[in-house]
Structure 1
Amino acid sequence: VAQTGERTVNAGGVSIWLPGRECPFMKAGVYDRHGARLEDHFRIVRGRMIDPEADYMVPFFNRVAETIRAENPDWLVFAEFDPFQTLGGHPFPQGCPARMVNASHWYDIVTLVTKTFMYPNAINPFNGKMLEGREAILQHYVSQLARIKASSEGLPGGAPTLIGEFGIPYDLDSGKAYAAWARGDRTDGPWASHVTALELMYEAMDRLLLNSTQWNYTASNSNDLAAGDGWNQEDLSVFSRDQHHLAAGADSGGRAVKGFARPYARATQGEPVRMRFEAASGVFSLTYRADAAINAPTEIVVPAAHFPDGAQIEAPGHEIVLGGEGRVIALRARRSGEHTITIRRAL
């Protein structure tokens, strides 16, 4: 970054406060007109250095649990705390209520802030080192998400992890894909960076067998760089009304659909061990420890974006309950033990 000059803003010193009013923070002594700050103003309360998570978040989580469970005792509490704490390997604090879900948010910070997906070489923002190649970027994501998952271990009784929010800005590179769309380009080309970014993020989650929720869906989203999702110039919606075109069918309006419409096991007749999807070859595999006593099949979603002509199923030791003609494949293991299901894109 190069400094090109200086400009004085509000040279007349016009106050933003109404006549007779003043900044409540300055009045409380948090800072003065010369910029000096009282660093400990919010950190020391009644003479004691506070712990924001233990002193404020834990009581809040417990109040939420008490309130909602007065209505339904079975309801879960989805919670997160400071994301930089979880990325730093800190567990949830002691004293949290039972039956919680770790719903921490996660983003590739560099991509989110710069609105540029650096590939095939990227930067680790936590240590400044280069990430060279696809596998290095993937491992960078895996290490961050693994720390988030590990933070669940301290919760009472253990807890599942649902990445409560993640995604990418779709206005990457100053909306380069939008400009291509405006020129009439309806190929996958303009969305290549978006798809690659999402593939790597989902591959990292698959390696850790994590569930996630992508932020976001905005029905009013447009390709206008000044509008986007309609808030704070964010533009992370998987859908835009400007991406409507009849040839896309049910996926009309979707952006970089191949990046997030991936096959996955939505229900497993036992315990998942490994899940992988290779988008280029169209091969999905699930290894799991089956429990034949479970009277319900394993269900695998096979989206049209990657399986337009259906799927070929390899599942030794299984009864196929529902084949690949639809978008869900259901299979029941005949015996307990470790099994692998492989699903290939039909040619």
Structure 2
Amino acid sequence: MGNCPTVIGEAGIPMDINHRVAYHKKDYGILEQALDRVMKAVEKNFVHLALWNYTPDHTHSLGDRWNEEDLSIYSKDTPTSYDEDGGRAVRAFSRPYPIRTKGLPVALSFDMEKSLFKYFFQQEGNVLPETEIFIPEIHYKNGFEVLVNAGEYHYDSRTKVLKFKGEKGILHYGITIHPSKKSLFREQDRTKVVPNTQKRNIR
């Protein structure tokens, strides 16, 4: 698509795939894997999408109540043991992503099974890079750790957003977020500056 802003409309998966096996076994893992593939393609190509769809009165027997479709990310019949709010394939569509970036995005990836997020971007012109990353709790129930090669960041636990600002003399940036055994971002907001002696390269 080059540098053209792109939005893919009505992107999602049929939740009744494989003869409705997820419903019969009450195992939504196969749905998460299928939707994860869609989201990975979106991330790799830096495009936007309208996730299809949300049907507030969805049921397993009637589906989306339109054209015999069954793509809703919500259902009244979702087992509470999977999601108390009725969500389906939640781990796949609720994932970290950069909300906005002052700079040029280079690469973006998220490993759903490892909850490993990586984002690379670079400075454009003379303006210091900045980015804001949404971090959903579903992947980091015990908190998370952040690795950056330079700059400083601040996490707002209310909005679930990590705000990052670059520094002079550094053109290329990498941010990695992974689960922590001990929560770093739970009870209070934290601000961290990465000193020159403690910069960590992200591989």
Same fold (TM over 0.5): yes
- TM score, norm. by length of structure 1: 0.48
The gaps in structure 1 that reach 5 residues or longer are: 1-148, 151-157, 182-189
Shift of 1:281: 1.9
Correspondence for 1:215 among 52, 55, 68: 52
Cα shift at 1:160: 1.1
Select the residue among 311, 319, 326 that pairs with 2:144: 311
Alignment-derived partner of residue 175 in structure 1: 20
Letter aligned with residue 263 of structure 1: P
Deviation at 1:231, TM superposition (A): 0.8
- 1:244 Cα deviation after fit: 6.1
When residues 253 and 230 of structure 1 are mapped into structure 2, their CA distance, relative to the original with a 3 A threshold, is same
1:44-100 CA-partner distances (Å, limit 9, x unpaired): xxxxxxxxxxxxxxxxxxxxxxxxxxxxxxxxxxxxxxxxxxxxxxxxxxxxxxxxx
Match of 1:289 in 2: 122
**Equivalent position of 2:92 in the other structure:** 259
Provide, for residues 261-318 of structure 1, a one-character-per-residue CA deviation record: whole Å limited to 9, x for no partner.
1111111121100001112222111100135625x84111111221222220112322
**Normalized against structure 2, the TM-score is what?**
0.79
| Matched residue type, 1:206 | E
Which one of 57, 69, 82 corresponds to residue 234 of structure 1? 69
**CA offsets per residue over residues 179-200 of structure 1, 9 Å max, x none?**
233xxxxxxxx11221111111
**Residue of structure 1 in register with 2:176 after alignment:** 342
Normalized per residue, which structure has more strand?
Answer: 2
Q: Which contiguous aligned blocks of 4+ residues in structure 1 show a shift greater than 4 angstroms?
A: 323-326
Unaligned runs of 5+ in 2: 182-203
Per-residue displacement from partner, 1:174-232 (whole Å, max 9, x unpaired)? 22222233xxxxxxxx11221111111111221111111111000010111xx100011
1:1-347 to 2 correspondences below 5 Å? 149=1, 159-181=4-26, 190-224=27-61, 227-243=62-78, 245=80, 248=83, 252-291=85-124, 293=127, 297-322=130-155, 327-335=160-168, 337-347=171-181
Task: Specify which structure has the higher proportion of helix.
Answer: 1
Partner AA of 1:178 in structure 2:
Y
Task: Give distance in 1, aligned partners of 2:83 and 2:23.
Answer: 17
Q: Which of the pair has more CA radius of gyration?
A: 1
Q: CA deviation at 1:171?
A: 1.1
From the superposition, tell whether residues 172 and 246 of structure 1 become closer, same or farther in structure 2 (CA, over 3 Å). closer
Q: For this pair of structures, how many residues does the alignment match?
A: 179
Equivalents in 1 of 2:30, 2:81: separation in Å? Answer: 24
In structure 1, distance between residues paired with 2:153 and 2:130: 9
| Superposition RMSD in Å | 2.3
Q: Identity of paired residues, percent?
A: 30
